[in-house]
């Protein structure tokens, strides 16, 4: 009976989410134009270039610039799906999005023990329209969000069942995430270090070996980069982000023009000049040398203009943390305004619950310390890993601009689950502490 009830809930979520997916995307553009949305952004075309090279449809020289910045996994998926049907990539990303909704419901149910509350949280997750709209585009946000949400599920199951095989799946998911969006390599590395530090004494050799094997996707990408660009970096995308965006914007701060009414025209001019500069450097010295030079320029600016660098970084993080989506492009201006307002509200909602999650964690930690108790290792590890994933993503937005909420889409569902988890733990801690204090008062009631 419970199985049938759970199945009915998942079917209901499936029907609601698919209908809502169709409704939201149809508001932006009709179904017969979804196919045209796939490669509407400049970034989308670079994934197809790499995918065509991987399946032998073009020579390396024709895709070299894209290969330098796009790791292999997502482009390979795109190339395979494109050979099946033009809409296959959209259907694939719809499925990934749907699985994440199921994960949100499952985790919320296990945490809250309430089907009604879990269902309501799943509906909130469905209503986050940025994750829906991005699925029409050949961009990495949907698959990155899937890997992050799936890794959360594996970490959550591990904290319940204490089986280290789930840790291996957690790290493998982050490893694939790293060869989709390279910045998550740092999350993979820190996660590996923390997990080993917390659990090595209890792990058998077979689990240590399985954890070591999770590096295979990253190693494959490093091999590609070493073979073609003589570097073990998994991508040069950070070089272009720093050059095209951060260093371009920094010129305004160095001249105190960040508040000027013509700042966007200035940034366009500076960015175009910097793009020509790095293109000439790559043509002359190659990608590796150009990357090293840009890194040196960045460090020189960091040491020469630390205040201006910090100010721009801070402003970009704050700005990008509360931005509306940039991926809803409709011919109807009223629809564009609608999506802007809705996605602006959702980005601020997610930021708010992340702030409350930190506040809850601080209160929980303080209560444990004041009561002279040791905090459970699994709680610390689970919470710390998720906090690092979320806030590292927020901080990474301080390098670029004009992206809307694209960089934050992968952590939306993780943020919701972490908030529910922290709220439950806080409630339990306060309740248990109150009960203990009450018993102490009763024992000393003369």
Q: Judge whether residue 376 has pLDDT over 70.
A: no
User: Could you report the per-residue pLDDT of 228-264, keeping only the tens digit for each?
Assistant: 999 999 999 999 999 999 999 998 899 888 777 778 8
What are the contacts of 78-82 at 24+ separation with CB within 8 A?
78/47, 78/48, 78/51, 78/138, 79/48, 79/51, 79/52, 79/54, 79/55, 80/51, 80/55, 82/48, 82/51
Q: What is the pLDDT of residue 373?
A: 53
Cβ atoms of 27 and 330 within 8 Å: the answer is yes
Confidence band for 378, pLDDT divided at 50, 70 and 90: low
More confident residue, 33 or 84: 84
Q: What is the pLDDT of residue 32?
A: 84
Please check the confidence at residue 85 and state whether its pLDDT lies above 50.
yes
CA distance readout (Å), 90 to 11, 22, 292, 342, 425: 21, 12, 37, 22, 38
CA distance 244 to 124: 36
Residue 429 vs residues 160, 423, 434, 436, 440: alpha-carbon distances, Å: 18, 10, 8, 11, 16
CA distance 187 to 178: 8
> Is residue 365 over pLDDT 80?
no
**Gap between the Cα atoms of 65 and 23, Å rounded:** 37
Is the torsion defined by CA of 364, 369, 370, 376 positive or negative?
Answer: positive
pLDDT at residue 165 above 80? yes
Q: How confident is residue 427, by pLDDT bands cut at 50, 70 and 90?
A: confident
- Report how far residue 108's alpha carbon sits from residue 393's, in angstroms, rounded to the nearest whole number: 23
337 Cα distance to chain centroid = 25
Give the model's pLDDT for residue 92.
97
pLDDT at 156 over 50: yes
* CA distances from residue 368 to 149, 374, 428 in whole angstroms, order as listed: 29, 7, 12
The two three-digit tokens of residue 126, written as one number? 């469905």
Give, for 247, the enclosing helix (H) or strand (E). Answer: helix 247-254
Handedness of CA 99, 103, 104, 105 (dihedral sign): positive
Best-predicted range by mean pLDDT (312-321, 367-376, 430-439): 312-321
Work out the pLDDT band at 329, boundaries 50, 70, 90. low
331's tokens: 């011919």
Percent of the chain at pLDDT exceeding 70: 91
Residue 436 has pLDDT above 70, yes or no: no
- The candidate with the shortest Cα–Cα distance to 279, out of 287, 267, 270, is 287
DSSP string, 90-139: HHHHHHHHHHHHHHHHHHHHHHH--HHHHHHHHHHHHT-HHHHHGGGSS-
Place of tokens 């629809």: 335
Domain locations along the chain: 2-37+87-235+305-443, 236-304
Instruction: Give yes or no for a contact between 325 and 403, defined as CB atoms under 8 angstroms apart.
Output: no
Amino acid 437: pLDDT: 44
């Amino acid at each position: 009976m419970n199985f049938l009830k759970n199945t009915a809930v998942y079917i209901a979520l499936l029907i609601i989410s698919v209908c809502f997916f169709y409704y939201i995307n149809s508001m932006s553009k009709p179904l017969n134009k979804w196919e045209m949305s796939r490669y509407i952004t400049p970034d989308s075309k670079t994934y197809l270039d790499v995918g065509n090279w991987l399946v032998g449809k073009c020579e390396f020289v024709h895709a070299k610039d894209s290969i330098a910045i796009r790791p292999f996994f997502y482009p390979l998926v795109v190339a395979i799906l494109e050979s099946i049907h033009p809409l296959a990539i959209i259907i694939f990303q719809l499925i990934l999005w749907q699985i994440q909704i199921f994960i949100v419901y499952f985790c919320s149910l296990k945490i809250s023990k309430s089907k009604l509350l879990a269902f309501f949280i799943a509906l909130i997750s469905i209503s986050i329209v940025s994750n829906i709209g991005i699925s029409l585009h050949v961009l990495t946000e949907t698959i990155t969000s899937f890997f992050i949400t799936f890794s959360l599920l594996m970490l959550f199951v591990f904290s319940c069942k204490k089986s280290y095989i789930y840790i291996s799946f957690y790290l493998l998911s982050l490893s694939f995430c790293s060869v989709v969006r390279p910045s998550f390599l740092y999350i993979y590395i820190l996660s590996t270090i923390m997990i080993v530090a917390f659990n090595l004494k209890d792990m058998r050799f077979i689990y240590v070996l399985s954890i070591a094997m999770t590096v295979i996707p990253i190693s494959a990408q490093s091999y590609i980069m070493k073979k073609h660009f003589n570097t073990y970096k998994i991508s040069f995308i950070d070089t272009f982000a720093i050059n095209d965006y951060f260093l371009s914007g920094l010129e305004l701060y160095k001249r105190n023009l960040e508040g000027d009414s013509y700042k966007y025209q200035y940034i366009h001019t500076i960015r175009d000049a910097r793009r020509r500069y790095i293109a000439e450097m790559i043509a002359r010295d190659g990608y590796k040398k150009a990357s090293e030079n840009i890194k040196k320029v960045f460090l020189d600016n960091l040491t020469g203009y630390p205040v201006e660098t910090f100010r721009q970084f801070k402003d970009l993080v704050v700005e990008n943390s509360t931005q509306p989506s940039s991926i809803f492009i409709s011919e109807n201006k009223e629809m564009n305004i609608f999506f802007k307002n809705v996605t602006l509200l959702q980005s601020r909602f997610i930021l708010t619950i992340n702030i409350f999650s930190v506040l809850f964690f601080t209160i929980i930690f303080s209560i444990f310390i004041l009561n002279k108790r040791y905090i459970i290792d699994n709680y610390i590890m689970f919470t710390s890993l998720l906090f690092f994933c979320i806030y590292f993503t927020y901080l990474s937005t301080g390098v670029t601009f004009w992206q809307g909420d694209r960089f934050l889409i992968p952590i939306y569902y993780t943020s919701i689950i972490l908030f529910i988890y922290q709220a439950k733990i806080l409630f339990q801690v306060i309740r248990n502490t109150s009960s203990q204090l009450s018993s102490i008062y009763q024992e000393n009631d003369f």
